[in-house]
Structure 1
Amino acid sequence: MNNYRMIIQYDGTKYAGWQIQGDQKTIQKEIVKAIKIVLKEDVNLIGSGRTDAGVHALGQVANFRTDKEIDLFKFRFSLNSVLPDDISVISINEVEENFHSRFDAKRRTYIYLISQFKSPFYKNYSYFYPQEIDLEKLQVLSRLFIGKKNYSSFCKKSSEVKNRYCEVSNVSWLKHADLIYFKISADRFLHGMVRAIVGTLLNSLKLENPEEYINQVFISEKREAAGEAVPAKGLFLYKVEY
């Protein structure tokens, strides 16, 4: 059995997320459909993680197995010809048969974009937030998220996972040109976690004791204690490391 790994980029604006969900339009569903057209067979496409509705990806990783020997250059060209314009396979290579995009991933990195002035070119890919942002203060506060912690307060209540511990290895803020970039890396992420963290950090800037506020959010282990989640359109799955 041959196992193929792909790196995929997509604009999630028109999709209900990565994972196949019945009749809804999803990224995974579109790619599986395209592969069937090219290979003339159904495959089990395994993604490194589930991105939510409206979330984009610069480096989603997925793999599938087939008995067929694939001409990688020809297959990628054919697949991209069939896929919608807002989904693209940017690379494909053969990997070991036991490689699993989700379970073998060691670290995932997301970025979140914030724009501080109204722009028609940023509206689908960033959160318009015209209020003052103290990046130095956010950088200091973000250190409170480093390490292995219980992220129950930062995931959607509907999350069905039993283990809500995640180990965050890096958090940073950067302003470049007209955009503010939030970047976070961890071994795993819960449903809605990044958007809740960004919302909580922005909310903390309005408070007299922001560190105490963030610590109390962690202690409560209740989603309502954290800040409101920022919009999905500013979130990108940046890369997955193995």
Structure 2
Amino acid sequence: MKPQALLIINFAFVSQQRYFIELAYNGTSYHGWQIQQNAVSVQELLNKALSTILRQPIETTGCGRTDTGVHAKEFFAHFDAQFAEGETNALESTPFRGRGGLNALLPYDIAIKNVIPVHADAHARFDATARSYQYHIHFNKDAFLHGFSWQLRDEPNLELMNQAAVMMMEYIDFSCFSKSNTQVKTNNCKITRAEWVKTEQGIVFHITADRFLRNMVRAIVGTLMMVGRGEMPPEGIREIIESKNRSNAGTSVPACGLYLTEVKYPYQLTPRPLTP
């Protein structure tokens, strides 16, 4: 009887690396960040581009979700990638190759800024400690602001709107500004900045909080506009918030003027030097 042949299998060592990816996008053509069944989203296109350049299935997790038509000047997502021992890392092997390769695969309105290796437990959504948004409004017809700012005919009272905005920071339950039927455990948010600022083009609302509810910023802006137009006094914001009823708040303003502008983390996100 011949001795049984030994079956030798070589297992290549595989390591997994988590990355944060920093990007910006013009949201006009997209149904928000999150993947949708019958609509194009930013996350869908990013997943496809990453899967192509890394030659493996990649699924990203975003720092939040932006609604249809909302823009992001700064947005973070994380993903995991696996590499066999000795394999060339397409994201880090050549300076800017990862960023340049991804940008070549993505449409003009999605721009990759950085690809940053992070520790295995880093989470783009749950680790974020603060997020900042801006809402832009202009008053004169401007061909270059169309789709990027909300045009109004009459300028509202900025002083009254800022009085109401300051009062909002005394509360944490913002159920009145949340889109209905959202699957969240709490409607509590800690707002640390809420301020209207006059600019050369018009006015901009700045708001920062630890987290935001769906449609929250656009509902807040719509409610503050009621104050600015003299439809209710600044103190009326208290009654609306304390009611916890979305129907008492103002109408959501158009998405075109809304931008996610900054996301903060408790650790520094520094791209490590790339090897030539």
Q: Report the TM-score when normalising by structure 1.
A: 0.96
Bigger shift: residues 13-22 or 153-162: 153-162
SS in 2 for 1:211: coil
Distance across 2 between alignment mates of 1:58 and 1:115: 19
Q: CA RMSD in A?
A: 1.3
Partner of 1:156: 179
How far did 1:160 drift?
2.1
Partner of 1:120: 143
Partner of 2:111: 88
Bigger shift: residues 64-73 or 100-109: 64-73
SS in 2 for 1:67: strand
Pick one of 54, 70, 73 that aligns with 1:39: 54
Pairing 1:111–2:134 present = yes
Partner of 1:67: 82
How far did 1:29 drift?
0.2
Contact 1:45 1:63 in 2 (8 A): yes
Bigger shift: residues 92-101 or 145-154: 145-154
How far did 1:209 drift?
4.9
Pairing 1:165–2:188 present = yes
Pairing 1:201–2:248 present = no
Partner of 2:23: 8
Pairing 1:97–2:132 present = no
Contact 1:10 1:58 in 2 (8 A): yes
Contact 1:46 1:63 in 2 (8 A): yes
User: Percent identity, aligned pairs only?
Assistant: 37
- 1:195-239 CA-partner distances (Å, limit 9, x unpaired): 000000011123375233211101111111001110001000001
Distance across 1 between alignment mates of 2:70 and 2:231: 32
What residue ranges of structure 2 are gaps of 5+ in the alignment? 1-15, 84-88, 266-276
Distance across 1 between alignment mates of 2:99 and 2:167: 42
How far did 1:147 drift?
4.2
How far did 1:74 drift?
0.6
How far did 1:64 drift?
0.8
Distance across 1 between alignment mates of 2:229 and 2:37: 42
Write the letter of the residue equivalent to 2:254. P
Distance across 1 between alignment mates of 2:73 and 2:231: 37
Pairing 1:235–2:258 present = yes
What residue ranges of structure 1 are gaps of 5+ in the alignment? none
Distance across 2 between alignment mates of 1:197 and 1:208: 15
Write the letter of the residue equivalent to 1:17. G
Distance across 2 between alignment mates of 1:159 and 1:55: 18
Partner of 2:34: 19
Partner of 1:138: 161
Bigger shift: residues 121-130 or 146-155: 146-155
How far did 1:121 drift?
0.9
* Structure 1 outlier segments of 4+, above 4 Å: none
- 1:98-151 CA-partner distances (Å, limit 9, x unpaired): 100000000000001001111111110111112122222222221011145111
Distance across 1 between alignment mates of 2:25 and 2:202: 20
Distance across 2 between alignment mates of 1:91 and 1:179: 32
Give the helix-richer structure, 1 or 2. 1
How far did 1:67 drift?
1.5
SS in 1 for 2:217: helix
Contact 2:161 2:234 in 1 (8 A): no
Pairing 1:184–2:184 present = no
Contact 1:5 1:92 in 2 (8 A): yes
Contact 1:147 1:169 in 2 (8 A): no
C-alpha spacing 1:158/1:118, structure 2 compared with 1 (3 Å): farther
Write the letter of the residue equivalent to 2:148. Y
Contact 1:18 1:52 in 2 (8 A): yes
Bigger shift: residues 62-71 or 109-118: 62-71
How far did 1:53 drift?
0.5
Distance across 1 between alignment mates of 2:231 and 2:179: 27
The structure with the largest alpha-carbon Rg is 2
